[in-house]
Amino acid sequence: MSRRIVLLPGDGIGPEVVAATTKVLDAVGDFTYEEHLIGGAAIDATGTALPDETLAACRDADAVLLGAVGGPKWDSTDPGRPRPEQGLLGIRKGMELFANLRPVRPLTALLDASPLKRERIEGTDLVVVRELTGGMYFGRKERTADSALDENAYTRAEVERIARVAFRAARRKVTNVDKMNVLEVSRFWREVVLDVHAREFADVPLDHLLVDNASMQLINAPSEFDVILTDNMFGDILSDEAAMITGSIGMLPSASLGEEGRPGLFEPVHGSAPDIAGKGIANPLATILSGALLLRHGLGLSDEADAVESAVDRALERGLRTPDLGGDATTDQATQAVLEQL
């Protein structure tokens, strides 16, 4: 039976990297696609970043693949104007996707592409487990002429469910990252994580880092991490920092998941890169690897996911390099190089 995947190409390079990924998906399975608007493209067409039709289609899909949203065309400090990022936040909330998984594993072929020394990043294989629908990004917001407010709030249930995801994902340990020396919400977060650990996962090693120290240790000793558990804003920042361990943010995939049985959302960590949109030089590998996460976590097709990830590894080992990795391969050439290894 053909699985139905909703495509949200979005803005900038999004349509290019999503199109590349569907070619790879078609090489390993039978899928039907339904394309919908989100982000700036949706604002231009409908006046809103997340049309009701898009959200309804995503809720009814087997899985959702997103490209990227945003760009300077829609930037504004006017709180009344729609922004592309509202589409991304809205779809996460609307699909009840509370867990964002961002694996970080520098490939052997790219160890020298990272700005960090090879010996510092060798052996790194971590995942950032980021809470996705709470915290400051979704808290109460106020704006006056002389002040602004973004409320940072979490409930016990929100912290418990993301903590369980992290503990279940652990192979060696969980590192909880917060700012409990300053923030009350972080003190509450740590208290709940400790409670879940004691009651349900006492056999999983657990340690804690303040977010400023964690950001330093992620560069100093990334291979020491296994699973990083953190809130929405800290996770957003730390996972982008971790992307540079791989040599390029164009290499990092992500999976956003909800309760079992609900469709997941899969997307590259990188942005819309409007400066190179339409030039055919965008690196599609993060989106292709997001497609592998879609196969594994969204559709339960682990063998097919392994095949895609292995094909990316081998293409890079055979010299594939897009401009962000110091080469000159086009989007089409990169896609073809992966297809040849499947």
Residue range 51-71, pLDDT digits in tens: 999 999 999 999 999 999 999
Tens digits of residue pLDDT in 207-225: 999 999 999 999 999 999 9
Instruction: State the catalytic residue, choosing from 60, 75, 112, 212.
Output: 212
262-281 mean pLDDT: 94
Q: Which of 11, 178, 179, 231 is catalytic?
A: 179
Q: Which of 62, 150, 195, 240 is catalytic?
A: 240
Tell me, yes or no, if 33 is annotated catalytic. Answer: no
Q: For the whole model, what pTM was predicted?
A: 0.89
Domain ranges of the chain: 1-98+259-342, 115-246
Q: Of 16, 137, 154, 7, which Cα lies nearest the Cα of 83?
A: 137
pLDDT of residue 190: 98
For domain 1-98+259-342, give the CATH superfamily: Isopropylmalate Dehydrogenase (3.40.718.10)
The residue that leads in pLDDT, 85 or 9, is 9
The reported pLDDT for the residue numbered 328 is 95
- The answer to whether 1-98+259-342 and 115-246 have equal CATH topology is yes
Write out pLDDT tens, residues 146-195.
999 999 999 999 999 999 999 999 999 999 999 999 999 999 999 999 99
Q: Specify the CATH class of 115-246 in words.
A: alpha beta
Place of tokens 């690897």: 289
Would you call 179 a catalytic residue per the annotation?
A: yes
* Residue 137 annotated among the catalytic residues of the structure: yes
Residue 257 φ then ψ, to 5°: -125, 150
| Of residues 18, 74, 76, 64, the one with CA closest to residue 41 | 74
- Among residues 11, 137, 178, 226, which one is catalytic? 137
Is the confidence at residue 79, as pLDDT, over 80? no
Q: Tell how strand 99-104 and strand 126-131 pair up.
A: antiparallel
